[in-house]
Amino acid sequence: MWISKIKIKHDCTIANRCEKFGCMSYSLGLGAWHDKTYEYTSQKHQIFGQPDQIHSFLLDLKNDTRIFNLKILNSQVYFIEKRHKKEIPSSFYNPHLFYIKPVFVDIYGWETWELASRDKKYIENFIKGVKTTKNVQVKAEPIRPYEVNNILLKLDNPQNINKRTEGELDQRLTEQLKTGHIEGDQWFRDFQEWFVIAFNNPYNFKHSNSELILLEGNRDHIFPLINNHLQVHYGVGVGETELELVRCQLEANNYIEISAVDINGVFLELFIENLKNKEIEFTESKIIFKGYSTTFQNTTLEDFEFSNSRFKNKVHICLGGTIGNFRHQEEIWSIFKRNTKKGDKLLLGFQLDSHIREAFDKYKSNKYYPHFVLNYFDEQVDTSKIEWKVESKSGFILMNYKGMEVFRTRKYNLNKLISELREFDFSMLDKWIDEYNNSCVAIFERKNK
């Protein structure tokens, strides 16, 4: 494998405005095609900056005649760009190349492309082609070999696997708006909004990360139950708790097989960066990874099968109270049942209902939460239209916006949870609860075929 980091400055719809308005962007190409005269590229951009800078950026972008099908979701931008052939760097992109990271654009209008290929010549041809572009500046680091046997984003093709079809989230949103119940896949469309929440999350109680404390404090009891299992992670977010389980497996065996599912591909990319750090820390390790950018509902048992796997069974891991995002709990239990076999484990992290009133007050008073929950609305959030309520019997804390249920989180009665999972063929092996009787980590086992 060969890789290179290439800095490019040229006449660009995004980079020009990053320089003009003092913004930054992470950008992804979603596809390209051409006719006799023009190149067409479908693009996604996440714009960063001060709110007034982003606002000016987006207003100016709307006047650019080179783009069409423009869609703006807060600071996230989608469009199709039409340019003359060989006028922009993406004209020289080849299917034999793949992105190591999204293209980063800084406040000076410089783009940073990090590309890899199995054949050095494809990177060389890309650099040569870009240098022929009019009024372009290029700074390319030497192309260097990179050993990839430790990190495989997909076993036979080093890319994340995007199982979402184009416009799927928008289609799901349209359907959800009709029913008046917005599902969790919409909340995480904008990774930037989640990063804000992650550092002041109402989910936590007294401890800043009680699940991580439970995993570390009870490692000698928890890890033997999941050692030498292929790890399947449902949602990785910022990934600090999930990485604790990765560390345990590497310390014990220097080998791990991991699969992860997240609706936001950026979370998967960041998780991969953390796995690369583990590769550096555990120099003799081998990490096999396969990631899916999709909804949990789109996954199947076959998705988590690895060729020549060393492990007989899997542990399906869902932490951070993610199970509580589902209004109809049988939906997530059915997903776990569909994706597991007899002997597979289920490791869950969730909150108990012991402090549901305190949790309700924290969610209700958190000024950042509405922007996270409603990041997909192409409008200014009207906080006067927000209504919070708690259902003590079911354990749900709910947020309504303009009459729609747009957010939910469930706090669990442990005995009721055990009973619900028993109906889906999972039996509890053990549980660990923090000293505040708030957070719980529990392991279940699939009993039958």
Domain extent listing, the chain: 2-146, 168-446
In terms of residues, how long is the chain? 449
Return d(Cα 47, Cα 192) in angstroms, integer.
Answer: 10
Count of beta carbons in the 10 Å neighbourhood of residue 48: 15
Tokens of 220: 């000698």
Return d(Cα 66, Cα 40) in angstroms, integer.
Answer: 10
Q: What is the structure's pLDDT at 110?
A: 93
Per-residue pLDDT 10s for the chain (449 aa) are: 788 999 999 999 999 999 999 998 988 877 778 888 888 888 889 898 888 889 999 999 999 999 999 999 878 899 999 988 777 787 787 778 877 778 889 889 999 988 888 889 999 999 998 898 888 999 998 998 865 443 344 323 333 455 555 567 788 888 888 888 899 888 887 767 777 777 677 888 888 788 999 999 999 999 999 999 999 999 998 888 999 999 999 999 999 999 999 988 878 888 888 888 888 888 888 899 988 888 999 999 999 998 889 999 999 999 999 999 999 999 999 999 999 999 999 999 999 999 999 999 999 998 888 888 888 776 678 889 999 999 999 999 999 999 999 999 999 999 999 999 999 999 999 999 999 999 999 999 999 87
68 phi/psi in degrees, rounded to 5: -150, 175
Rounded to a whole number, what is the largest CA-CA distance in the chain?
68
405 phi/psi in degrees, rounded to 5: -80, 110
Return d(Cα 153, Cα 290) in angstroms, integer.
Answer: 5
Return d(Cα 319, Cα 233) in angstroms, integer.
Answer: 8
Q: E strands, 294-434, where?
A: 314-318, 345-351, 386-391, 396-401, 404-410, 426-433
Contacts of 430 (CB under 8 A, 6+ apart): 221, 222, 225, 442, 443
Q: What is the third-level CATH fold of 168-446? A: Rossmann fold (3.40.50)
Question: Has this prediction a pTM greater than 0.85?
Answer: no
Q: What is the structure's pLDDT at 211?
A: 92
3 state DSSP class of 427? strand
Assess contact for 408 and 399: CB atoms under 8 A.
Answer: yes
Return d(Cα 144, Cα 5) in angstroms, integer.
Answer: 10
Task: Report the Cα 333 to chain-centroid distance in Å.
Answer: 21
Return d(Cα 390, Cα 285) in angstroms, integer.
Answer: 47
Q: What is the structure's pLDDT at 349?
A: 96
Return d(Cα 407, Cα 185) in angstroms, integer.
Answer: 11
Query: Is 413 buried (19+), middle (13-18) or exposed (0-12) by CB count in 10 A?
Result: middle
